[in-house]
Structure 1
Amino acid sequence: MRERVSYVERDGVASILLDDGKVNVMSANMLADIGAALDRAERSADMVMLRSLRPAIFSAGFDLKIFAAGDVEGSLEMVRAGAELALRLMSFPLPTVGVMEGHAFPMGTFLLLACDVRIGVRGPHRMGLNEVAIGISPPGFAIELARSRLHPAWLSRTVTTGEMFEPDDAVVAGLLDRVVPPEKVEAELGKVASALRAIHKASHATAKQRLRQATMDAMRAAIDRELTISAYETSGKARSAVVLRR
């Protein structure tokens, strides 16, 4: 059986590699596997790099078929797992690097947004929060996460119109930190790793907590308010009408 998530640790860098054989759908199982890889990294690594092994795709996001089937419990489990994972990344004690080398639909974008350093590879792929384009309102935890990273002028159009951005525009919006050509990505990641090795890890963890506490509190409040069985039952009709396309 194919491993959805593989873990490679070398010279203190824990590479968490996504590959479900298709488009890296963020099912509850995939999210749990990423969480387990973070557990392992936290015990032994100096930093984390999150990237995809699938060509031209980081992640297709949540499994829309679960929404469309009207599976309230399955939907709740999946979305709450994604929310908790994004929240964990926001306060992860080690430096984290997200690498966008292909399309990143919402849950994929949420994971990248929660990383400390976000590197994009130039190409015809997009990222963003396209929920409203497919019949879903963005969850509150994701809006708070986006609010903390996106430039204000881009936040509203990103959240309320579902616009998706190619890498260079994603940098301008605040979704990514920088973009490099595909042939230079490994060299760039090497430079990033070298820079992150030089920082004081305990100070990094404390600074991250202090900087992001208000956002994390807002994310936690949104998770506890919206991601309950009663809230999901109330909004179930909207999710079951989701359009199964990207």
Structure 2
Amino acid sequence: MMSLVTFTRNNALPLLRTSITVRIQLNSASLSSLVRLEEKQGYAVVAMHKPPVNSLSLEMIQALSESLSELEKNKCKGFILTSACPGIFSAGLDIREMYQPTEERLKEFWSSLQTLWLQLYGSKMASVALINGHAPAGGCLLAMCCDSRIMVNGKSKIGLNETKLGIVAPFWFKDTFVNTIGVRQSERALQLGSLFTPDEALKIGLVDRVLPDPEAATAVAESELKEFLQIPAMARYLSKMRIREAALKDLLENREKDLNTFVNFATTDAVQKGLGIYLQSLAKKN
């Protein structure tokens, strides 16, 4: 049975003097089945659990939004964002949401993604991404929204590779990338759709630490989060906003325009053809 969850939250952006109204429609079991939320002493672990690759479908995006809202309601100070699926952090946006969609669902999908980014990138909570597997495209975006990124070494890669599917990363993806690795690295990587190994990601500042195994990475992620939590919360948050405020404000002021741009672009014949070819290639692999 579907239930409608509506809540209004302060966007934790005192500098922007604004609020976000989030309208979420999810299955009553979505939160527990798609996101494993474990509250620990002083912080929480938010683990994506949508096998096999934690693709960001509409329901997954909304479950993540609701998880963040739940933590805020419980006055949680910080969280670790990770995956409960071995070998994958998140494969990014679910391509099936964009291929031959209904306009209504496509708009809800993109609007929900906008909301999740605003929540995560502008959160007052301290956050650490524990990247325990591949993190292309939307998976990379989620990781970059966190205050620190810890990645497990191995064959996993991370980056914004949208151009390889014939898709252009929206301006707020770009802004997040630039704020993380700088203008020149972002310009080149966005054009080429580059995916980086853990060591390459560390070199350009896309991740902050690379650890040899999940156990070591988990320990460091916990230690890193506790270091953030030792700083007076408002001073830490306002300092973060000095970097992120402009990007957040840009999307807040241009949500409808960005939504229309995405819908118009995603439904063009060229993009639909490219997505169809990509989905066919995935089917052949399976």
Q: What TM-score, normalized to structure 1?
A: 0.91
Equivalent residue, structure 2, for 1:95: 126
**What are the Cα deviations for residues 142-174 of structure 1, in whole angstroms up to 9, with x where unaligned?**
111111111333111211110111111112223
SS in structure 2 at match of 1:207: helix
Residue correspondence of structure 1 range 185-224 to structure 2 within 5 A: 185-221=217-253, 223-224=255-256
Between 137-146 and 24-33, the greater mean CA deviation after superposition: 137-146
Equivalent residue, structure 2, for 1:105: 136
**What are the Cα deviations for residues 4-24 of structure 1, in whole angstroms up to 9, with x where unaligned?**
101101111111111112211
Point out where structure 2 has 5 or more consecutive residues left out of the alignment.
1-28
Confirm or deny: 8 A CA contact 1:144 1:218 kept in the other structure: no
Confirm or deny: 8 A CA contact 2:153 2:211 kept in the other structure: yes
Residue correspondence of structure 1 range 66-215 to structure 2 within 5 A: 66-182=97-213, 183-215=215-247
Compare the two structures and name the one with the higher strand fraction.
Answer: 2
SS in structure 1 at match of 2:184: helix
The whole-number CA distance in structure 2 between the counterparts of 1:209 and 1:88 is: 13
Equivalent residue, structure 2, for 1:3: 33
| Letter of the 2:186 counterpart | L
Change (3 A) 1:68 1:179: same
Point out where structure 1 has 5 or more consecutive residues left out of the alignment.
none
Equivalent residue, structure 2, for 1:27: 57
The whole-number CA distance in structure 1 between the counterparts of 2:255 and 2:206 is: 22
SS in structure 1 at match of 2:169: coil
The whole-number CA distance in structure 1 between the counterparts of 2:46 and 2:54 is: 13
The whole-number CA distance in structure 2 between the counterparts of 1:240 and 1:70 is: 10
Identity %: 27
| Letter of the 1:224 counterpart | E
The whole-number CA distance in structure 2 between the counterparts of 1:233 and 1:193 is: 40
1:93 shift after superposition: 0.6
| Letter of the 1:227 counterpart | L
The whole-number CA distance in structure 2 between the counterparts of 1:123 and 1:223 is: 37
| Letter of the 1:128 counterpart | G
1:181 shift after superposition: 1.1
Change (3 A) 1:194 1:226: closer
1:197 shift after superposition: 2.7
Is the radius of gyration larger for structure 1 or structure 2? 2
The whole-number CA distance in structure 2 between the counterparts of 1:71 and 1:153 is: 37
The whole-number CA distance in structure 2 between the counterparts of 1:49 and 1:22 is: 21
Tell me if 1:18 matches 2:84. no
Larger relative contact order, structure 1 or 2 (CA cutoff 8 Å, min sep 6): 1
1:191 shift after superposition: 1.7
**What are the Cα deviations for residues 23-75 of structure 1, in whole angstroms up to 9, with x where unaligned?**
11101111111111111211332211100010111111111122222433323
Tell me if 1:58 matches 2:58. no
Between 30-39 and 146-155, the greater mean CA deviation after superposition: 146-155
1:235 shift after superposition: 4.6
Q: What TM-score, normalized to structure 2?
A: 0.79
**What are the Cα deviations for residues 104-130 of structure 1, in whole angstroms up to 9, with x where unaligned?**
121111111111111111110111111
Equivalent residue, structure 2, for 1:41: 71
